[in-house]
Amino acid sequence: MAEQSNYTEDNIRSLDWKEHIRMRPGMYIGKLGDGSSPDDGIYILLKEVLDNSIDEYVMGAGKTIEISIQGERVIVRDYGRGIPLGKVVDVVSKMNTGGKYDSKAFKKSVGLNGVGTKAVNALSSYFRVESTRDGRSASAEFAQGNLTNQDLLDDTSRRKGTKVSFIPDEIIFKKYKYRSEYIVKMLKNYVYLNPGLTIVFNGEKYYSENGLKDLLSENINEADMLYPIIHLKGEDIEIAITHSKTQYSEEYHSFVNGQNTTQGGTHLAAYRESIVKTIREFYGKSYEASDIRKSVVTAIAIKVMEPVFESQTKTKLGSTDMGGELPTVRTYINDFVKKYLDNFLHKNPDSAEKIQRKILQAERERKELSGIRKLAKDRAKKASLHNKKLRDCRVHFGDIKNERYLDTTLFITEGDSASGSITKSRDVNTQAVFSLKGKPLNCYGLSKKIVYENEEFNLLQAALNIEESLEDLRYNNVVIATDADVDGMHIRLLLITFFLQFFPEVIKDGHLYILQTPLFRVRNKKETIYCYSEQERRDAMEKLKPKPEITRFKGLGEISPDEFVHFIGEDIRLDPVMLDKDMSIEELLSFYMGKNTPTRQEFIIDNLKVELDVIEDTV
């Protein structure tokens, strides 16, 4: 019988604020990551600091925010009122301390729990805050949350405001790197939600005059819009809406008090309901909700008094009330949409006619596909029950109250050997595996019907749970895991085409990745180094001299589960799949997957020459 351990007073331990944050960072900033995902911790640190500057702007103090990121160091400077000088240390190092508990000062703030900057402080190897107001300045410096220095200047010519500098701690965030694409998207959302605000990031200015209308213009090509964007604003609500000519699924962008609620919540549920209700009443027809919302591309932003979110990272609204004497979130949104969207449709019969034609088209397509869809769903259910394609995990993206929901990952693999290795080495709580059988079909130019008729596509769609909208996506990270050879590259391209053709928002919202796996293993009796490039192989050989053993991995199936655990665990390397905003999806697919073979061949040859020139220059 196992010896029982004693449970005494010595086992009870109280942690101070910084110890708790560093021990359980996921409770405060979600997942850690390495910067390859837009919801990785280093971006949440930036957002927590930036939210305070945004709140200053909302309160009418400071129209410009300056951000600089050089390597690991982040600097955020606003020109707001500045932190009261006697509280500079407390605001960033004492839990439940902040000005936002005073609802008169911050009526519709983003950060209400006084945790944000404390988490940044505790999780940074270097943190400095400086406040200037009334010609005086106070600053404090910290290391991992511990105060190392503070100063008070009685006379300064600096402009009022707050400046925060920090370096994320490499002990917590291993091998991280900021990606400007994710930061720019975050900053654009801030200026869309705050027209008149200027954000300067590394010298580039971001500004919006038209709010959510500009956001939609950024996310959908004008040529792909069924009708011009409908843009409606109220005191605490703003919406923008159009329909895509080619996109099949629904696409939503939702915000509360400037926070991008990527998981939706009570406001998004009410908004989706209000669109259906208003359209039905306007046309006097009981259209199916899915037909009304098919291909919709829309955004909603509301302001709520003291919002309640379902997680510290504020990705899902839980509040049912607007606050004060206002009605519920559901009633407020329904009343606004019913009045203003209905008025718009009456005044713009051309747009109203196009919407109705789109609904009728969706209705015809749904009826034509009804039989195929039923058979497809039955096949998907049976395949799932018999575990032929999908090895599922225990936590899913929708389980927002589980602190690991952001880690949920589906690996799409080629062949049984590769899926077998990943299945044996994965984390069964958050990592699922979907096994492809052969190469997927090139679906460019095909209709949605093919998704139900093609077994691979049908089962993949079912595994992801994205038939109607991205709202029910079961995994935060969708990772294409194929061999690093010509066949593997081809499979990657075909899968990316599938998502671009039928579910582009999976890519737009930053959910699709390519798994990097090592090309070489270099080892001696004391150490093993896995290398992802030829340069890394040369460096490893130099380090492990003399004459280490070198193995070239030809495919994922050759890597044993014992080794694979290193490549999909803490040290996982992911390359995000991103869209070029200067090229529409149709142009992208037409060029790379269309029948323009000579043009594409010329493009490949020209770029191959450039690549060879670069290699020659570096040798």
Same domain, 51 and 198: yes
Question: 298: which strand partners?
Answer: 241, 252
Nearest-10 crossing angle of helices 349-385, 455-464: 100
- Residue 601: the pLDDT is 67
**What tokens does 534 get?**
């030829």
Given a cut of 90, whether residue 2 has pLDDT beyond it is no
- Domain assignment present for residue 590? The answer is no
Same domain, 303 and 335: yes
pLDDT digits (tens, 9 = 90+) for 137-183: 999 999 999 999 999 887 778 899 999 999 999 999 988 999 999 99
- Domain assignment present for residue 132? The answer is yes
Q: What is the dihedral of CA 376, 378, 382, 385, to 10 degrees?
A: 110
- Domain assignment present for residue 457? The answer is yes
Same domain, 198 and 223: no
Tell me the percentage of the chain whose pLDDT exceeds 90: 48
- In terms of pLDDT, which residue wins out, 447 or 170? 170
Q: What number is the average pLDDT over the span 90-98? A: 73
- Residue 310: the pLDDT is 82
- Domain assignment present for residue 535? The answer is yes
What DSSP string describes 110-136? S--SS-HHHHHHHTEEEEEEEEEETTE
- Residue 131: the pLDDT is 94
CB atoms within 10 A of CB 150: 13
Given a cut of 50, whether residue 86 has pLDDT beyond it is yes
Q: Cα separation of 511 and 558, whole Å? A: 27
What CATH number is associated with residue 168?
3.30.565.10
- Residue 1: the pLDDT is 44
pLDDT digits (tens, 9 = 90+) for 372-399: 878 777 777 766 655 568 899 999 998 8
Q: Is the CB of residue 508 less than 8 Å from the CB of residue 189?
A: no
Q: How far is CA 206 from CA 194, 212, 328, 506, in A?
A: 11, 14, 34, 25
Same domain, 441 and 313: no
- Domain assignment present for residue 605? The answer is no
- In terms of pLDDT, which residue wins out, 468 or 404? 404
Domain C-terminal end among 180, 207, 234 = 207
- Residue 296: the pLDDT is 94
Same domain, 246 and 203: no
- Residue 11: the pLDDT is 53
pLDDT digits (tens, 9 = 90+) for 274-315: 999 999 999 999 999 999 999 999 999 999 888 888 876 778
Mean pLDDT computed over every residue of the chain: 86
pLDDT digits (tens, 9 = 90+) for 222-235: 888 999 999 999 98
- Residue 603: the pLDDT is 64
Given a cut of 90, whether residue 75 has pLDDT beyond it is yes
Q: In this predicted structure, which of 179-183, 485-489, 527-531, 574-578 has the lowest mean pLDDT?
A: 485-489
- Number of domains making up the chain: 4
Same domain, 197 and 239: no
Same domain, 245 and 111: no
- Domain assignment present for residue 594? The answer is no
Same domain, 415 and 296: no
What DSSP string describes 333-359? HHHHHHHHHHHHHHH-HHHHHHHHHHH
- In terms of pLDDT, which residue wins out, 415 or 382? 415
Its domain, for residue 143, covers 17-207
Highest mean pLDDT among 17-21, 186-190, 568-572, 573-577: 186-190
Given a cut of 50, whether residue 614 has pLDDT beyond it is no
- Residue 610: the pLDDT is 44
- Domain assignment present for residue 611? The answer is no
Domain C-terminal end among 366, 399, 424 = 366
- Residue 421: the pLDDT is 85
Same domain, 148 and 223: no
- Residue 611: the pLDDT is 42
Same domain, 287 and 274: yes
Given a cut of 70, whether residue 201 has pLDDT beyond it is yes
Compute the Cα dihedral for 469, 306, 210, 195 and give only its sign: negative
- Residue 586: the pLDDT is 67
What CATH number is associated with residue 483?
3.40.50.670
Q: Give, as one character, the DSSP assignment of residue 262.
A: T
- Domain assignment present for residue 87? The answer is yes
Q: In this predicted structure, which of 9-18, 244-253, 333-342, 479-488 has the lowest mean pLDDT?
A: 9-18
- Residue 453: the pLDDT is 87
Same domain, 113 and 259: no
From the list 519, 465, 460, the residue with the least C-alpha distance to 491 is: 460
Same domain, 524 and 513: no
Q: In this predicted structure, which of 320-324, 347-351, 592-596 has the lowest mean pLDDT?
A: 592-596
- Residue 312: the pLDDT is 64
pLDDT digits (tens, 9 = 90+) for 543-568: 998 889 999 887 787 788 888 888 89
- Residue 616: the pLDDT is 39
